């Protein structure tokens, strides 16, 4: 995955209303487990942890 795509994933998790699973499929992963493992290795925290940091509206 390119650095630009990783930044897209991060931005989608922070800004979109879609679920983590929806983001996972949107960026081309076949399952949430693979997506979460890859994301956690790249960013050192889980997609869910990042999602919880997003500001409430």
Contacts of 6 (CB under 8 A, 6+ apart): 42, 43
Is pLDDT above 90 for 46?
yes
The Cα angle at residue 43 between residues 50 and 46, in degrees rounded to 5: 45
Is pLDDT above 90 for 40?
yes
- Residue 25: per-residue pLDDT: 95
| Tally of domains within the chain | 1
Structural domain harbouring 14: 3-53
**CATH number of the domain to which 8 belongs:** 1.10.10.60
Measured distance CA(57)–CA(35) in Å, rounded: 26
| Share of residues in the chain with pLDDT > 70 (%) | 96
Q: Which helix (H) or strand (E) holds 48?
A: helix 47-53
Task: Give the residue with greater pLDDT, 48 vs 55.
Answer: 48
DSSP-assigned letter for residue 16: -
């Amino acid at each position: 995955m390119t650095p630009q795509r990783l930044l897209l994933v991060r931005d989608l998790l922070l800004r979109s209303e879609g679920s983590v699973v929806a983001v996972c499929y949107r960026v081309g992963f076949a399952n949430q487990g693979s997506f979460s493992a890859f994301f956690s290795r790249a960013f050192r925290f889980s997609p869910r942890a990042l999602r919880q940091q997003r500001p409430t509206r």
